Amino acid sequence: ASYLRVLVRPGAVPQAYLTASVWLTFAQARNTGINPVVCFLFNRELRDCFRAQFPCCQSPQTTQASLPCDLKGIG
């Protein structure tokens, strides 16, 4: 939309199109920031792998052997 605004004569691109494209861009940026947090909260395997990679996040009764982690298998 920004390129059209620069390359095409003024008024040729409807304002509604420009406004919609700006809002869709904002929505995508917000989704990109929130998606990893949501995945982390709802994916137990991902949380377990995270804990396995950072021993400081493990509780005293949890051992490395009890947290199997194959990062290639997540997805």
**Per-residue pLDDT reduced to its tens digit, 2-60:** 777 778 887 788 889 888 888 888 888 777 888 888 888 899 888 888 888 887 766 66
Domain assignment present for 73:
no
Q: pLDDT confidence of 70, banded at 50, 70, 90?
A: low
The pLDDT, as a whole number, for residue 65 is 47
Domain assignment present for 72:
no
Domain assignment present for 71:
no
Range of the domain at 37: 15-53
The pLDDT, as a whole number, for residue 35 is 83
> DSSP of 17-44, one letter per residue?
HHHHHHHHHHHHHHHHHHHHHHHHHH-H
Q: How many domains does the chain have?
A: 1
